[in-house]
Chains A and B, each alone.
Chain A
Amino acid sequence: MTDLTLEELAGAIRQRKISVVEATEDCLAGIRRLDGRLRTFITPDPEGALRKARELDTEAVAGRWRGPLHGVPLGFKDLCHLAGLPTSCGTRTKEYFATPHDCTAASRLVAAGAVTLGKLNMTELAMGPFGDNAHHGHVQNPWRDGHIAGGSSSGSGAAVAAGLVMGALGSDTGGSIRLPAACCGVVGLKPTYGRVSRAGVMPLSWSNDHIGPLARTVRDAAIMLQIIAGSDPHDATSSHRAVPDYLAGIEARIAGLRVAVPENFFFEGVDPVVASSVRDAARTLAGLGARVEVMQLPDPQTMNDVCNVISRCEGAAVHARLYRERPDEIQPVVRARLALGFHISAHDYLQALRLRAKLTREFVRDVFAKADVLAAPVFPEPAPALSHAIEGLPEELARRQGRFSRLTRPFNGLGLPALAVPCGFSAAGLPLAFQIVGRPFDEATVMRVGRAYEEAAGWYRRRPSSSV
């Protein structure tokens, strides 16, 4: 089972080649064997998972199928509220986040037949791109011990890469789905703002938060998105726009599609191995018939500044009580980042929100008149050593975090769909990746390009040494 994709496992269960209990036990055995070291889970739920697996097997025997994920074991970032399991949000407080409604995205996956293996590790309060967590253990990169898994959805990225779960949910406020996906050599999709409900998920910055899947392949991510996308009465920002059939055109040729590679910002200060891997990926897309051109983009740094102001203000508002009443429970760097939000004026916050609207309108108009998608680096360097990433004073560390997420954050502000796809390995064996960014609500084209690339390049067939 370990080499199967989510889609293949769902098919094998449907054909009764493998039972749900067997699939679940396989994942649980992997968790027992590897997770003492990888630290991908905060709350595994083996009893609950096996109970659900037996129930689903009984239904399968009777010919009753809940949906496309019947029996597929998944994990959820520990900021998704699910009744019966605690939601720490990576803090020291076991049940930090409570809400009357279960996480809509997770609930939809469960309703489609998924088995919940448990809640996955993350950076404290989702604040930080390295995946370190002093309370629950630093998540290790399955490709190389001692290196970061990326964050903040660190457990989601590493658990998918190691084969401990067949897919996972993550959240992305400044890159927190795409960075762990890139660091761990898996696929991660930040959908368009409003495409997936955020109800039942701990907010960090409600203007910039996005929920999305992490999976081994683009097709697997498409299957998960199909289930979680769509409007939700519990999230007023969710779009009422109809959800297309994401698998319908995903294998279509990409000949003639216009792919823009940014000329400015995205390659500045980037490790040469990352830069060349992204340019190689663009050449692969050209070889598939895409029209690849270099493009000057509206300066993404302005949007980064806008996002930083908005995220800091909203994060401080959301977590003010924890910050004021129990500051000693928060890791110093998270506390330092939260602190800034209390010092930004309402004037600057509102100007940032107004600027965001203007910048988004201009970016979409100027860029997508000439291109169908963008192809750009996700991170400035392959997953650094944990010891190096998290050393130093909180202020230094906060700056380092900002640099690591500077290539992903603009697309949170812009709200555009962005897909991280593996595109090779460094000499040290660490995954490389690029992001494909599309028009608002055009996840279908973004995934079509990603799928064409992954099949041509074949990186998704490699597995890390630390895997099931």
Chain B
Amino acid sequence: MSESPTQHVDLANLTAAIERAAVDLTLAEEPSRFIAALEEAAGEREGQR
């Protein structure tokens, strides 16, 4: 499970990007809201038809 130097840099860049983007997450945000986002958007659309 050793990393090469290139992989180490790629990984550091990736996790840094996540850290930056996660700065303004609200306390209420949780993974299951992804499914809710899909279902709600589809439901709203059906309501408009």
A binding-site residues for B, Cβ under 8 Å: 192-194, 237, 239, 241, 302, 305-306, 308-309, 323, 336, 339-340, 342-345, 348, 350-358, 360-361, 364-365, 368, 395-396, 398-399, 415, 439-442
Contact = CB atoms under 8 A, between A and B. Distances in A.
Given A340-B3, A342-B1, A439-B45, A309 B38 contact: no
A343 B38 contact: no
A398 B33 CA distance: 31
Contacts of A342: 1
A330 to B, nearest CB: 13
Query: Among the interface residues B6, B37, B38, which one has the most CB atoms of the partner chain A within 10 A?
Result: B38
Interface string B28-49: 0111111111110110010000
The SS class assigned to the B binding surface is: helix
Contact of B11 (A340, A352, A358, A365): A340
4 closest A-B pairs by beta carbon, nearest first, are: A357-B33, A353-B31, A441-B42, A440-B38
B41 A368 contact: yes
B21 A302 contact: yes
Interface of B: 1-4, 6-7, 10-11, 14-15, 17-19, 21-22, 25, 29-39, 41-42, 45
A339 B3 contact: yes
Given A353-B31, A439-B42, A441-B38, A345 B15 contact: yes
A58 B34 CA distance: 48
Contact of B25 (A354, A368, A396, A415): A354
Given A309-B15, A344-B11, A399-B10, A354 B38 contact: no
Query: Among the interface residues B18, B25, B30, B42, which one has the most CB atoms of the partner chain A within 10 A?
Result: B18
B9 to A, nearest CB: 10
Contacts of A355: 18, 21-22, 25, 29
Nearest to B20: A302
Contact of B38 (A344, A348, A360, A365): A360
A305 B39 contact: no
A201 to B, nearest CB: 19
A323 B38 CA distance: 34
A256 B29 CA distance: 36
Given A309-B14, A343-B11, A360-B38, A354 B19 contact: no
B39 A239 contact: yes
A194 B38 contact: yes
B24 to A, nearest CB: 9
